[in-house]
Chains A and B, each alone.
Chain A
Amino acid sequence: MSTPTPVSADVLVVGAGPAGLYGAYCAGFRGLSTVVVDALPQAGGQVTALYPEKEIRDVAALPAVRGRDFVAALVEQASAFGATRLMGRRAVRLEHRDGEPVVTLDDGTVVNARAVVLTSGIGTPTPRPLECGQEWLGTGLSYFVTDPRAHTGRDVVVVGGGDSALDWADTLGPIARSVTLVHRGAVFRGHAATLDRVRAGRARVHTETRVTALEGDLTAGRLAKVRLRARSGEETVVAADHVIAALGFVSDLGPLRDWGLTLRGHTVAVDRSMRTNLPRVYAAGDLAGYEGKVRLMSVGFGEAATAVNHVAVDLDPGLSLFPGHSTDGP
């Protein structure tokens, strides 16, 4: 495997949620080259993950905006100065070399940054594990569909009740030999239109049902069948070449717990300039903790601006802390 090319930037923003995206804009406005990384493939953090269709009403000058549209606007603003986004990669290590932070991503990419702004909110998302069959992970069990065509002509079982489970059952319907959708609850949380398509298609849908066992030739990595048990007690065995568990994500502070940062409960302690205890490492948004903190996006935006403008002065002490007015630009 080849090592990815190292990346260099003035500022590395870790987390592409609202605070991180706005921080990227602020950094660009100050003329700082900026890289944004996020563990998930899509930007927007909690807004995208938890409430993309809901209306947000507590951001200044936006009486009501749909989550999805809000994120699109933040991405557009963040891209104004050409910030580079590295999505679907998590920051796993932070070191200092010659006083400047070096962050390694889980694909091996090394980011040499002159400063880091941590805006990773509630932390690193990891897939919620299926309650059985972990030994099949990597062969007969996965948490994502990277290429739907890989399931052509196969018997596939999709587990979950949210948008991802419905989307994959919908996408694989015409490709796979069979699709079985299994959900522990009675009601699906995902988009109603997608559910209608799944129900109208060839997929067999089992609600109030749990997966109790994955069976097959483990040594050869060949899954054969999946056992299901309904709330009623009824047991079903379905043929399966592959199980896709789309059970959502659980977030926690993740790797940054081991970076030597001073923590404050589930947050990283910062001072009034949003500096953490580590040199050239700042935090903003939900991740940043201090006495009197109010966990709102509007507060996170202010913190991101504070962090980035302090970064600008750290990197060039001749500059003023105040960035100037955006209305003066071209």
Chain B
Amino acid sequence: MTYVIGPGCIDVLDRSCVDVCPVDCIYVGERKSYINASACIDCGACEVECPVSAIVVDRRARGDETLNAHLEDSRAFFLEVLPGRDRPLGDPGGALPTGEIGVDTPLVAAHPKRNGGLP
């Protein structure tokens, strides 16, 4: 089980979730953050922290076409080779020591730009 960050995060990238994750499993891309499902302990600390309510538990995401696409996309972020990199991220063992990744999956990169970030 895991939580997933939906499209609400794109161009907001508040990072409050990153600050509260007790296992440091939320990685920051260029326009969105991604949860590493293989490390997520399903505690839900991030869900309540998100200022735009972009985070949901996977059980709920599966019932929604867009959120489900982002659930799959979060897996892709770690398992597939991101643009400009030569191997998949895999399970890097912690977002803090790894640093911000700075690139997004093709799905997120193709998302229309949103201006202004937080309302």
Contact = CB atoms under 8 A, between A and B. Distances in A.
A247 B19 CA distance: 7
Interface residues on B, range: 20 to 34
Interface residues on A, range: 20 to 34
A296 to B, nearest CB: 10
B56 interface: no
Contact of A129 (B42, B48, B93, B96): B96
B92 to A, nearest CB: 12
Interface stretch (B4-12, B20-28, B77-85): B20-28
Given A250-B24, A252-B24, A265-B38, A185 B19 contact: yes
Given A50-B43, A122-B41, A252 B22 contact: no
Contact of A184 (B19, B21, B42): B19
A212 interface: no
B94 interface: yes
Contacts of B23: 122, 250-252, 266
Nearest to B39: A266
B16 A185 contact: yes
Nearest to B15: A184
Which of the listed residues B21, B23, B38 has the most CB atoms from chain A within 10 Å of its own CB?
A: B23
B38 A266 contact: yes
A46 B24 CA distance: 15
Contact of A248 (B22, B39, B42): B22
B43 A186 contact: no
Nearest to A51: B43
A187 B19 CA distance: 13
Given A122-B41, A250-B96, A186 B24 contact: no
A207 to B, nearest CB: 12
A251 B51 contact: no
Given A122-B22, A185-B19, A266-B39, A252 B93 contact: yes
Contact of B22 (A50, A129, A184, A295): A50
Given A46-B41, A161-B19, A251-B23, 14 more contacts: A46-B22, A46-B43, A125-B22, A184-B16, A184-B19, A185-B19, A185-B49, A185-B51, A248-B20, A249-B22, A250-B21, A250-B23, A250-B24, A286-B41
Interface of B: 15-16, 19-24, 38-39, 41-43, 45, 48-49, 51, 91, 93-94, 96
17 contacts: A46-B22, A46-B41, A46-B43, A162-B20, A184-B15, A185-B16, A185-B19, A186-B51, A189-B48, A189-B49, A248-B19, A250-B23, A250-B24, A252-B24, A252-B94, A265-B38, A286-B41
The 7 closest A-B pairs by CB, nearest first: A250-B24, A185-B16, A50-B43, A122-B41, A251-B22, A122-B23, A251-B23
